[in-house]
Structure 1
């Protein structure tokens, strides 16, 4: 059994998502041959040298899963494209190229984060090319920590503002890109995240039946794609409520004594 997830956007301000992820690692993922995380694992990542205690705890949880025998594969998203080999080595996971072709049940499957499919968002595509340029990445990684933090906040703020202003079809994948990329890599199954629109789309590539599986983002609920002998099953799951703290001992009433 193989599990695929994406778009958790982990951050300290969302402990419900963190609890759900750690629960997944302790339960279903322990029985999995492999766990694939297809980008936007963290809400933001400004460098392996700037890990916070929260991010280190996530790294340690991944390492424990890896040590238990589950292979972990991680792909960059548009929020955490600066994740590097230092994090992956510490977490016991393998960094995947975007896109990558893997074998599931003897079938070649194309894995992507999905942002590169949104070609109608011309402004974003220009920004993406600039940010992923090796020279830009080198400069970003060598900026002072404070400058990187300030830049990350600015990019996140601008991204939210731009997304709200853009039409839905602009921030979704370009339909013509799907058959083009699938034919380029010679696959009949494409799996990606990014758009936050979970679904299994049936396609036709020439005379061949094909499918595009879109992973869901983790917000009000989690999403996971399970691949096993039965095929591909995409399903949501609810978040467990926070643990209840024990009720404090009642304060004994005090009745003054009269002498």
Structure 2
């Protein structure tokens, strides 16, 4: 069995979700051969050099899960794009490029966080291009921790305010972008998170049937995962 999750947005202000994730790492994740996290594990990450007790606890639990035999992989999201090699080494997570093609259930599958598909949100796409620029990231990481913490809080507030004023369809994926990316990577299955709209979408890529799996976000009391057993892919929610 292989498991994929996304969008936990872990933060000290949401201890119930953090506890649910720790229980998940100690339970279901250890029954799986692999666990892949498709971004936004944390609500914010200002650099591998800043780790409070909360972050250290999550890293330790990830490491324990990896040492118990589960292969862990992590892909950057739009909230934790500054996670780096130090986090990966300490947590036992392999870092994945966004997007990445893997084999699941005997099929080629395209994994991505999902924010790159929201092309109708022009303001966000401009920010994303900046935020994924190594030079910009180096500039941010060179700032004192206090300034980075203030910047992270400011960006969270701005994101919340902006999303309140955006039409729902603008914050969802662009259908043409989905088809184009699947054609580019020659896949008929896509898995992502980001939109917080869990669903399995049937579509067509050229003349062939295809599927897009959207993993839901974790909230108090409820988590989401995509479970792969044999050639079966199952999107499901569960109590945490």
Query: Secondary structure of 1:63's match?
Result: helix
Q: Are positions 1:133 and 2:133 aligned together? A: yes
2 CA distance for matches of 1:238 and 1:91?
A: 25
Contact 2:104 2:231 in 1 (8 A): no
Q: Please name the residue that 1:210 is paired with.
A: 210
1 CA distance for matches of 2:201 and 2:83?
A: 30
Query: Secondary structure of 1:176's match?
Result: helix
Query: Secondary structure of 2:169's match?
Result: helix
Q: Are positions 1:163 and 2:163 aligned together? A: yes
Cα drift, residue 115 of structure 1: 0.4
Q: Please name the residue that 1:42 is paired with.
A: 42
2 CA distance for matches of 1:173 and 1:230?
A: 26
Cα drift, residue 50 of structure 1: 0.5
1 CA distance for matches of 2:138 and 2:103?
A: 33
Q: Are positions 1:120 and 2:120 aligned together? A: yes
Contact 2:44 2:80 in 1 (8 A): yes
Residues 200-237 of structure 1 deviation map (CA, whole Å, 9 limit, x = unaligned):
00111122111000000011411011001150011111
More displaced 10-residue stretch of structure 1: 38-47 or 98-107 = 98-107
Segments ≥4 residues shifted beyond 3 Å:
none
Query: Secondary structure of 1:116's match?
Result: helix
Contact 2:3 2:36 in 1 (8 A): yes
Q: TM-score, normalised by structure 1?
A: 0.91
Cα drift, residue 92 of structure 1: 0.6
1 CA distance for matches of 2:231 and 2:175?
A: 28
Unaligned runs of 5+ in 2: none
Unaligned runs of 5+ in 1: 240-259
Q: Please name the residue that 2:228 is paired with.
A: 227
Query: Secondary structure of 2:175's match?
Result: coil
1 CA distance for matches of 2:29 and 2:218?
A: 17
Q: TM-score, normalised by structure 2?
A: 0.98
Cα drift, residue 105 of structure 1: 2.0
2 CA distance for matches of 1:153 and 1:21?
A: 23
Q: Whose Rg is larger?
A: 1
Cα drift, residue 162 of structure 1: 0.2
